[in-house]
Structure 1
């Protein structure tokens, strides 16, 4: 699917959210005939963009004959691969691609692609922060900020740092990042992968499938799922591992509380105590981002300063307020067990833990040792809390069920004592009581400020 071949073609876009409308903006610029269709309602801000560009669109339905008339279909990442419409498109041999694939055809910028079950947003923002500090012309897109397609239409960057979900990677054909980062793989979104972990792992590794010997693949060498996959599946790109447990001639590791990064006989080092974000998982995120920066030959001093002043990500272990010497932490972005594991592991005082939401097949037993050690009370915040009560009922003396964020925070305020922590780290998706994890996090912060 080369650029010239795509010109003057018809594109159907499924989904009228950020990636769908971004694709429409770029397709319009590149001379496509466009039809955008959303089975749900399209937000007013997106309708306005479509109207201004005179793009044909519909909502609350899919007009199949118009969609089947397309030469290529861009499917938004939220739409599963196995819905009837997508299966019919594949039967008709109409290519179904992701916005990432489409946009990459129209930019000559070099790409840093970052994926993983956890840490990808922090690592993406970290890497972008270091690149900007090093005066490199770089955009940031994918799962963060404006869509990749919209940025390709409106900007001319030399580099893009893209946060990529497995759903976005499912729809790539030729997409090839010069630098690929895989932060870790733990069970997540298995409902979209026939409840098979190996299918989810394979989706994550699509990030490197088109890489060549000139490209780089940066990965967590402590992650068993990644190590096992790499033993069975060769990767063409040059491998740069990072680890808290072992050393490398080429890669990043820890020695005497120093991060050491060695690449082709150059060495970078920095004490972990100087990192703005603490915790083992953040040390790994920093290693991955600094390895990217080393490949781009950014000055060592610039990398160090960037890692000292990086502010982190909203809704990811975000310190909200201290009230009566109790610290309130917003970790609403923790939508799976592994993310919550990191959060509980980094707690340094007795913790009142707010947990719950839509369970994506969670196995809570991994958290038992940490809950026994760190958690003094559990506040369930979900429509169905049975699994959480079942898993942790014997671990804590106080367990409360709530149906609203206000109520959860007020109860936490009553339970938490001086020098303790209240942690919102749900380990679940948010769609039962909230619009999304951002809405959940903002409601938490508002409720804390209203105490």
Structure 2
């Protein structure tokens, strides 16, 4: 019997992980990357005798295969992808491919914001009592983990791009943290296309499966009214009383599933802010479904350290707090950051704008921001939106310079906040690189 041929487009974390799993499962594997493949990934491919190419796509090797796994970063409008689809070759995401080779219980977390924190917090709670991996958009690739140690449970952080290429993928528990306009450049600037993409997480679920979602989010509740799902619904809310699901009662989170209620105080939560109460509700609801002990959930919520580059306290210098929120790559994430500022703030913002509407930030900027430092190649939109709101607005294209300017402007008791509301690709490799450069610049002050 001839081997099935698998082509992988993109030689990054998900691509190389899929290559390892594909080879282990008997596929003939070829990895093709239009850019350069990082040295550490190249070494893995060479060591495992997997065929690869970089800085090109050889069409002859790609268009006569059985299956294509496409990295989430490659848009559908690329010519090669159109040709592959035209030939009827199935295109899947890493999440879809890997899920076919595991019988693990899968918890899938998606949303515009909060998904990394919610996925990390969920994993942090579950790992106290279960054998559980953390993968998807975070850490080591899902496919690699399935090929190497195949946990009994997985918490997956899943982006809309990964959901676009699923066919049979079905998490037992799906979480949608919230939906706000993001990545609209990939969805023909149609918000409803992006919402539909997020809801693919529940498309294969049955009523034995669960969908946990933010009942305060109008986009989510409106969509569910018009497009009902099969799943058992477990909403969470800060404002409503929820019969099945989670809600906030004074300072307690109350979670009810099948008439079993647990109560979690929020007074000692490690993470601050209303958005983190929601993340805690989502994670605790997952844990309650999986019958984790109440004591374990409570302790885990109290000792969870948070996620790097997400409202991360870096240093206090001359009584000024420096806060790294580089992971805020859209307006809604920056909204949460500014909302949680309790002192005058020097705000570092900017990067690649994905069609941002800055209006929802205006009241916070008027109330809390004393100076704005625009850190991007093109800052015109920021200047137009915020120029009249603050006395000081400065442009720069270097992180070290942005931090030095902030240091000069900030006074004792102020915050310096990096919360870009934009993607990082104009000046940085990715948001992690941007966050690390910020932290380094602060440490060098």
Q: Normalising TM by the smaller chain, what interval?
A: over 0.9
Q: Alignment partner of 2:253: what SS?
A: strand
Q: 1:51 & 1:35 partners in 2: Cα distance?
A: 12
Which runs of no fewer than 5 residues in structure 1 stay unpaired?
A: none
Q: 1:110 & 1:403 partners in 2: Cα distance?
A: 45
2:191 is matched with 197
1:348 aligns with 2:355: no
2:276 is matched with 282
How far is the alpha carbon of 1:54 from its aligned partner? 1.0
Please list, as runs of the form range in 1=range in 2, the aligned pairs for 1:106-117 lying within 5 A after superposition.
106-117=101-112
From 373, 390, 398, the equivalent of 1:379 is 373
Q: 1:261 & 1:279 partners in 2: Cα distance?
A: 19
1:69 aligns with 2:64: yes
From 149, 167, 172, the equivalent of 1:173 is 167
Deviations 1:381-425 (A, max 9, x none): 011111111101111111111110110001101111111100000
Q: 1:32 & 1:402 partners in 2: Cα distance?
A: 49
1:291 aligns with 2:285: yes
From 302, 307, 311, the equivalent of 1:313 is 307
Q: Alignment partner of 2:106: what SS?
A: strand
How far is the alpha carbon of 1:259 from its aligned partner? 1.0
Query: Given the two structures, how large is their TM-score scaled by the length of structure 2?
Result: 0.99
From 6, 27, 43, the equivalent of 1:48 is 43
2:383 is matched with 389
Q: Alignment partner of 2:373: what SS?
A: strand
Q: 1:408 & 1:56 partners in 2: Cα distance?
A: 44
Q: 1:124 & 1:360 partners in 2: Cα distance?
A: 24
Q: 1:449 & 1:405 partners in 2: Cα distance?
A: 12
How far is the alpha carbon of 1:171 from its aligned partner? 0.7
Where has structure 1 moved over 2 Å in runs of 4 or more? none
1:93 aligns with 2:88: yes
Q: 2:275 & 2:302 partners in 1: Cα distance?
A: 16
How far is the alpha carbon of 1:65 from its aligned partner? 1.4
Q: 1:30 & 1:270 partners in 2: Cα distance?
A: 44
Please list, as runs of the form range in 1=range in 2, the aligned pairs for 1:140-155 lying within 5 A after superposition.
140-155=134-149
1:430 is matched with 424
1:159 aligns with 2:153: yes
Q: 2:296 & 2:208 partners in 1: Cα distance?
A: 25
2:113 is matched with 118
2:237 is matched with 243
Tell me whether 201-210 or 266-275 shows the greater mean CA deviation.
Answer: 266-275
1:30 is matched with 25
Q: 1:273 & 1:403 partners in 2: Cα distance?
A: 41
Q: 2:368 & 2:249 partners in 1: Cα distance?
A: 28
1:369 aligns with 2:391: no
From 55, 59, 62, the equivalent of 2:54 is 59
Q: 1:374 & 1:270 partners in 2: Cα distance?
A: 32
How far is the alpha carbon of 1:8 from its aligned partner? 2.9
How far is the alpha carbon of 1:435 from its aligned partner? 0.6
1:82 aligns with 2:80: no
Q: 1:74 & 1:60 partners in 2: Cα distance?
A: 18
Q: 1:434 & 1:55 partners in 2: Cα distance?
A: 30
Deviations 1:26-74 (A, max 9, x none): 0010111111111111011111111111111111111111111110000
Q: Alignment partner of 1:173: what SS?
A: coil
Q: 1:357 & 1:307 partners in 2: Cα distance?
A: 33
Deviations 1:73-104 (A, max 9, x none): 00000000121111111111100000110000
Q: Alignment partner of 1:240: what SS?
A: strand
Query: Aligned residues, how many?
Result: 445
Q: 1:325 & 1:273 partners in 2: Cα distance?
A: 26
Q: Alignment partner of 1:315: what SS?
A: coil
1:139 aligns with 2:137: no
From 224, 230, 244, the equivalent of 2:218 is 224
1:439 is matched with 433
Q: 1:242 & 1:79 partners in 2: Cα distance?
A: 34
Tell me whether 328-337 or 53-62 shows the greater mean CA deviation.
Answer: 53-62
1:262 aligns with 2:256: yes
Q: 1:53 & 1:242 partners in 2: Cα distance?
A: 45
1:9 aligns with 2:4: yes
2:123 is matched with 128
